[in-house]
Chains A and B, each alone.
Chain A
Amino acid sequence: MDSLNNYLFVSVILFSLGLFGVITRRNGVAVLMGVELILNAANLNFLAFARFGGMNMAGHVYALFVIVLAAAEAAVALAIIINIFNNYKTINIDEVSELKQ
């Protein structure tokens, strides 16, 4: 039970769920949650490799960086979503498709 593959397996499931959420969710906040899942999947990988793969302390440090980065990213992304809501009265990202020609 206590092996690298188990951790990676959990991490893959977590990543896939996150990616699925990012791609399919209409709600902007839900997309952000997906991103958080992906980041946490990465974190789990880092820690698993720190414990079993010989990455040692570097893995822990990277995980801490990712957490900080995730917090910053969430702050900026939520601010963007609030602005989108102010302008469009919706946070459904399908309706905010100005990028299309």
Chain B
Amino acid sequence: MIASNTITLFCLLILFLPLVAFVINIFIGKRLPREGDWVSVGAILITLLLSLILLISMFINGDPNFSHETVLPWIDLGAFKIDLGIWVDNITVVMLVVVALISSMTHLFSIEYMKGDIRYNRYYAYLGLFTFSMNGIVLANNLMSLYIFWELVGVSSYLLIGHWFEKHSAADASKKAFLTNRVGDIGFFIGIMLMFTAINSFNFQDLFDGVNQGLMAGNLLTLAGIALFMGAVGKSSQFPLHIWLPDAMEGPTPVSALMHAATMVAAGVYLTVRLFPLFSPEALTVIAYVGGFTALFAATIAITQNDIKKVLAYSTVSQLGYMILAVGVGNYVAAFFHLLTHAMFKACLFYGSGSVIHAMHHSLHDINDHDTDPQDMRNMGGFNSKMPITYWTMAIATLAISGVPLFSGFLSKDAILAGTLSFVEHHPEHLLLAIFGFGAAAITGFYMFRLIFMTFHGKPKMPAVFKGIHESPKLMTYPLILLAGLSFFLFYTLPYFNPFSDHGWFTDLIKAKDSAVPGSLTAAEIYEGVHHAHYPAMALSLIVASLGIGLSYLFYFKQKFSAKSWSKRMGFLYKLSLNKYFFDENYNRFLYQPFLKLSRAVAYLDWDLYDKYFINGFGRVTRIFSKLTGRMDYDGLDQILVDGIGRSMQGLGKRLKQTQTGRLQNYMLFALIGVIVILVFQTI
């Protein structure tokens, strides 16, 4: 049991150490030995240690209702008051460990992966900035500071995606990510302001109490909930703002693992988990549909992608959709559980893909081939003999994400699907949600195994490249092994050993809160329903997952069916999926282009009409007026009055000058005359 003050201290250290590393690296990193990576790595490892201490103390404490809040007044203007503070409960502690762990792994992995990069120190600085802001989101106890850190996360994401900004695609991707996030963030901010105007506080607990007392209810509450959820839609890359995440893969792969798989995109889910008590049933239905649809929709895109990182990106979108779906159906503990397990196995998959790309890159470099795409799975194949560690760790993570028993993903996905099933049982009109969930589960198995089979099995498609492939260095494989290890169910169910039940420390320590909205189902009622749906959901999910995996096995391992001829047979659908449902193109045609046209029209009004005629006309009139007054001033005042005085003085001076002859005798004569004059006047 740690004292209350120590918890605050630990949290502040966890929050600010990465910031210190950021400041050191951004300013003097270049001049430090090894370009200062040890500063960042050191800071993040201390952060990890502190988070683990908090985690262990949470275990020892064993209190599911543990909560610790520290508040510091920030702005106090009488009626308007903002407090900054940290709120630590079990969810926070677990999330801190996830962020610190994945961030540490990224720092270590990057030492090797980013070796020789021209902006090595800046890369580490930005990682520090990201970790700082992510921890800020996790620790925030109010919407205001959460929003600040939320934007900071967006900035660091922008900086890291655009790390190689010399590449046009990377620069564009960073801008796209930032701007797409802004769309969501506007909604988020509206939501925050709606909450504030109704309840007059940013503090989470105050908001929950306010909603519970009915300070905000009905449609307004639903609207505020959906607005807040918009932030999560942007950050967690949900439909229809999912377009930025796949492009964000332009960033360095360790960054993709840290931000665009495990932590930053999970911030949206974390937000909905944190704010769950605020969502009205109607808002939750919207959330469930957005999440469910995204889960299925992104999965169907992932089937046809050939870029190894794009597959993983769409898989991430799909899994995030799952989490959002779980929040929507009320089982938000399952959402957080999936966030936790997903962070581990998806980071592992991304590091694995990073390891593969690293190997491909070096091999291509050795044979002087700079045109072949090192990320294209069609250039891979048969790597399992050359990169056994990468292969096995990725395979384990793939089993986990596909929902195979014994692995963590099975438990968390099962919890989500059970929640969805129980929700559909109570509300049969929402049958679609179950179809989304189970459909996505089947497709996940299919495309993930497709990735494994295409990359690691079969014949090498480019023998010349294959020859140069070798296992990555230890700093890259150790994080893989660690995260693959954490993909086993055991770490989430201790001290129990039943691979078919998620009962363990997680479910014991993290309990759902009741919704603050009056009239909602209580957490106990939701849990009851989930418990009933547990075994049917498990059976169904096992069936669909094995269906997906089996199909993938037949297609890509045994090659019983030719993927090519099937893609032809599917024709239209294949093209839709390959081109991501033409979302970018349609956004371009129906949003950007009309907007550009509107902007141009407004620009025409502004420049061609308003500026040219009104502003310039006004200018012209002023110029004429100025000329007039100028003439008055110059010709009249200056010439006659000012210069006139000067000229007359000059003339007078010239005339008077002649009296100064320089002859002393003259002066003397004048003096004499003067004396005589004075004498004459005196006598008169």
Instruction: Give chain A's interface residues, CB within 8 Å of chain B.
Output: 19, 22-24, 31, 93-94, 97-101
Contact = CB atoms under 8 A, between A and B. Distances in A.
- Consensus secondary structure, chain A interface: helix
The 10 closest A-B pairs by CB, nearest first: A100-B662, A97-B662, A99-B662, A23-B665, A23-B669, A23-B668, A97-B663, A100-B661, A22-B668, A94-B663
B665 A97 contact: no
A13 B559 CA distance: 150
B290 to A, nearest CB: 97
A98 B662 contact: yes
A23 B671 CA distance: 11
A31 B661 CA distance: 18
B657 interface: yes
A26 to B, nearest CB: 9
Contacts of A93: 663-665
Contacts of A22: 665, 668
B672 interface: yes
B660 interface: yes
Given A23-B665, A97-B663, 13 more contacts: A19-B672, A22-B668, A23-B668, A93-B663, A93-B664, A93-B665, A97-B662, A98-B662, A99-B662, A99-B664, A100-B661, A101-B660, A101-B662
A28 B528 CA distance: 136
Contacts, number: 26
A99 B660 CA distance: 9
> Which interface residue of A23, A94, A97 has the most chain B CB atoms within 10 A?
A23
A98 B663 CA distance: 9
Nearest to A26: B665
Nearest to A94: B663
A15 to B, nearest CB: 11
11 contacts: A19-B672, A22-B668, A24-B665, A97-B661, A97-B662, A97-B663, A99-B664, A100-B660, A100-B661, A100-B663, A101-B662
- Consensus secondary structure, chain B interface: helix
A21 to B, nearest CB: 10
Interface residues of B, number: 10
Nearest to B662: A100
Contacts of B664: 93, 99
Interface string B549-560: 000000000000
Contacts of A99: 662, 664
A61 B668 CA distance: 29
Contacts of B662: 97-101
A14 to B, nearest CB: 16
Contacts of B663: 93-94, 97, 100
Interface in B630-670: 657, 660-665, 668-669
A94 to B, nearest CB: 6
B675 to A, nearest CB: 10
B556 to A, nearest CB: 110
A63 B663 CA distance: 31
Interface in B598-613: none
Contacts of A97: 661-663
B660 A23 contact: no
Interface in B85-101: none
A23 B665 CA distance: 5
Nearest to B669: A23
B312 to A, nearest CB: 96
A99 B668 CA distance: 15
A98 to B, nearest CB: 7
A93 B672 CA distance: 19
Contacts of B660: 100-101
A101 B664 CA distance: 14
Nearest to B666: A23
A98 B664 CA distance: 11
A23 B661 contact: no
Nearest to A97: B662
A51 B238 CA distance: 131
Nearest to B665: A23
B673 to A, nearest CB: 11
A97 B665 CA distance: 11
A23 B657 contact: no
Contact of B657 (A31, A98, A101): A101
B676 to A, nearest CB: 11
B416 to A, nearest CB: 107
